[in-house]
């Protein structure tokens, strides 16, 4: 399937009442899911998308030794990448970042974009809290389930 055909399929789904389409052949798998305003397409070698942020303790993260004011990372939650792609902190090079260290975020708030197969997918936080660390550089490749942000939960 060519990129133009995939784009036409995405456009068709966007304009129809369908919420999800899966196509599988011997050569590829394509899953397109209408998720608010974002369509996601995955190649067969990309694992299925998980929730954008899975609340899990970040106990495996090493503490930031350069900042003595950072509390233990065991109490932090991780916002993880739902797919393989390129991580972007802003919607375009001329825009401000979605979030910065110290920002308080709400569940459902867009925190970054992951580009996969020339599709830009907004990643929404599954938790509310304060961003304490950004673990990935802007425009860097990321893996599925890779931690992107550390979030201190808000009570």
**Exposure b/e, 64-101, CB count within 10 A at least 16 = b:** eeeeeeeeebeebbbbbbbbbbebbbeeeeeeeebbee
Domains of the chain, earliest start first: 3-40 (no CATH), 73-153 (2.40.50.100)
Flag whether the pTM goes above 0.75. no
pLDDT of residue 24: 73
In the numeric block, the tokens 């925190």 are attached to: 111
Reading the chain (155 residues) residue by residue, the pLDDT tens digits are: 666 777 776 766 666 666 667 777 777 677 776 654 444 444 444 444 444 444 444 444 444 444 444 455 678 999 999 999 999 999 999 999 999 999 999 999 999 999 998 899 999 998 999 999 999 999 999 999 999 999 999 86
């Amino acid at each position: 399937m060519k990129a133009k055909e995939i784009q036409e399929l995405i456009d068709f789904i966007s304009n129809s009442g369908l919420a999800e389409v899966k196509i599988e052949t011997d050569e590829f798998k394509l899953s397109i899911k209408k998720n608010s305003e974002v369509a996601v397409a995955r190649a067969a070698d990309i694992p299925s998308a998980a929730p954008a942020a899975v609340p899990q303790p970040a106990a495996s993260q090493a503490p930031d030794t350069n900042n003595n004011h950072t509390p233990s990372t065991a109490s932090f939650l991780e916002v993880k990448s739902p797919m393989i792609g390129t991580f972007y902190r802003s919607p375009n090079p001329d825009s401000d970042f979605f979030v910065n260290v110290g920002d308080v975020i709400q569940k459902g708030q867009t925190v970054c974009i992951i580009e996969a197969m020339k599709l830009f997918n907004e990643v929404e936080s599954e938790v509310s809290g304060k961003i304490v660390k950004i673990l990935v550089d802007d425009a860097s490749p990321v893996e599925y389930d890779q931690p992107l942000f550390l979030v201190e939960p808000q009570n």
